[in-house]
């Protein structure tokens, strides 16, 4: 049977989503451990988004094949009982054998949260990246306009040896001003390694005035990571939703 | 000069507000360290509420006497620069020489947050205490009615050797039902050691149906800590405001 998991986590303590050989301090590793305990045999799961160390999720999706006589609700309760308190299975559902959480994903929504102003936010500090300067939202929105659409995003990819296509489509970049917070939502068909964080770093540099919005076109055309802005810290980033 | 500090903190990592001889891992200790660095001499500060280990504050107030040629804003910026990211000075103001943050406090507002339902809250887990059962808010409100007013709260005080008066006045206990959360606000002229957490534990037991609201009267009259409910965990408690 093929099960789908909808998952929420605070990524602060973890080395990212993807299980590694050297450490099991990953979200995938923690979930697979619990599934092994439950089924008695190793279970591999696939996550829709391979979030980096420190990145959070409100709606990560994963799937895995195994057999169980428990109901979906019982599996969900079992998993939450044994998972650490910063990982939560929101829902378990049985899906078609062919469902693959990453390959079937049609779109993803990532949110980057920037804390504005001179005051820290002591309660949400692990989910916000602070920005102390004033910023120009109009310039950021203009730059976001250049980034939206189908482009080769090689300049925004941290993997320099990427052999596969670096063409992606961003459907929307929405910038929302909240009290003491700026949120940037990225909706697209897929994102390259560190792409959302590099897009955010570049938008922040434009917002600060150290770059101009029009530079985006040259950055995209140059197909060179060195042309884009800094990689914004992981803590501000959350995988909000995966669409199928 | 006498300075007043309005302070916010996430108490998770600390051994409470009050400086101890054996450890400086306290909020008071951290702030005094920074003031020593700033002024070059030891500065003692007084906090309005001596919050326990793990208890948070949205609006703690403290005061301390020292001389400085910096403006209040400069002092605030300096302190926030050197304080850890889970302690934030919201405001520094110069007050009359006779102002004492604890002795002059007229009332305090504490909030206890209870997470409801089978799901954990991965992002706010350090600020909520979970309750998985169903509960009876009407019974809790009835009990809150018996607790409101001026009473001897010795049964709700964890310090068995308390020699001073244990009479306090609770102006209001307000219970608010939010989605997946129950908030209990306690407004009173002062609270004894662990009093808010014991009041909350008792209200939770009444909400669960394992005690009846009418028992409150006998608990108050008995003047014995053993009669009241359990001490609710520190993580759910926040000092919201101090009134002068």
Residue B5 CB burial class (10 angstroms; 0-12, 13-18, ≥19): buried
What does the pLDDT read at residue A23? 65
- Which chain B residue lies closest to A7 (C-alpha atoms)? B122
- Give contacts of A9 with chain B, Cβ < 8 Å: 122
The per-residue pLDDT for A172 is 97
Per-residue confidence (pLDDT) for residue A159, from 0 to 100: 87
**What is the model's pLDDT at position A24?**
83
* pLDDT tens digit sequence for A64-91: 999 999 999 999 999 999 999 999 999 9
Stronger pLDDT, B135 or A21, i.e. the higher one: B135
| A35 backbone φψ class: left, alpha, beta (φ>0; ψ -120 to 50) | alpha
Q: Is position A224 annotated as part of the catalytic site?
A: no
Any idea of the CA torsion for B161, B165, B169, B173, to the nearest 10 degrees?
0
| Helical H segments across A100-178, by residue range | 137-147
For residues B99-110, average pLDDT: 96
Q: What is the mean pLDDT of residues B49-70?
A: 96
User: What predicted TM-score, i.e. pTM, was given to this entire model?
Assistant: 0.83
| Residues A29, A34, A36: CA angle, nearest 5 degrees | 90
Q: What is the mean pLDDT of residues B89-96?
A: 96
Query: Which chain B residues have a beta carbon less than 8 Å from that of A90?
Result: 119
Q: Do B90 and A120 touch (CB under 8 A)?
A: no
Distance from CA of B9 to the nearest CA of A (A): 6
**pLDDT, mean over chain B:** 94
Query: Mean pLDDT, to the nearest integer, of B33-60?
Result: 95
CA dihedral (B90, B93, B99, B102) in degrees, to 10, reads 10
Q: Is A125 on the interface with B (CB under 8 A)?
A: yes
Question: Chain B residues with CB inside 8 Å of A86's CB?
Answer: 122, 125
Which of the four pLDDT bands, split at 50, 70 and 90, describes residue B22?
low
Three-class SS of residue A210? coil
Percent of chain B beyond pLDDT 70?
A: 99
């Amino acid at each position: 049977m093929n099960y789908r998991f909808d998952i929420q986590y605070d990524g602060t303590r973890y080395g990212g989503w993807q299980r590694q050989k050297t450490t099991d301090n990953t979200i995938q590793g923690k979930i697979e451990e619990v599934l092994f305990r439950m089924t008695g045999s190793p279970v591999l799961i696939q996550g829709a988004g391979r979030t980096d160390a420190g990145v959070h999720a409100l709606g990560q999706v994963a799937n895995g094949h195994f057999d169980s006589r428990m109901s979906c609700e019982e599996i969900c309760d079992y998993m939450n009982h044994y998972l650490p308190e910063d990982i939560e299975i929101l829902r378990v559902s049985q899906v078609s054998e062919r469902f693959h959480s990453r390959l079937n994903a049609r779109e993803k929504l990532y949110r980057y949260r920037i804390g504005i102003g001179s005051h820290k936010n002591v309660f949400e500090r692990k989910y916000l990246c602070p920005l102390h300067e004033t910023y120009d939202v109009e310039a950021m929105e203009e730059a976001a306009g250049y980034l939206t659409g189908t482009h080769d995003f090689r300049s925004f990819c941290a993997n320099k040896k990427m052999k596969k296509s670096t063409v992606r489509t961003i459907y929307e970049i929405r910038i929302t001003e909240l009290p003491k917070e700026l949120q940037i939502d990225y909706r697209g068909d897929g994102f390259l390694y560190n792409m959302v964080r590099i897009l955010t770093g570049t938008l922040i540099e434009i917002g600060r005035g150290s770059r101009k919005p029009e530079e985006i076109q040259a950055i995209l055309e140059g197909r060179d990571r060195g042309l884009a802005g800094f990689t914004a810290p992981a803590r501000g980033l959350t995988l909000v939703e995966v669409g199928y």
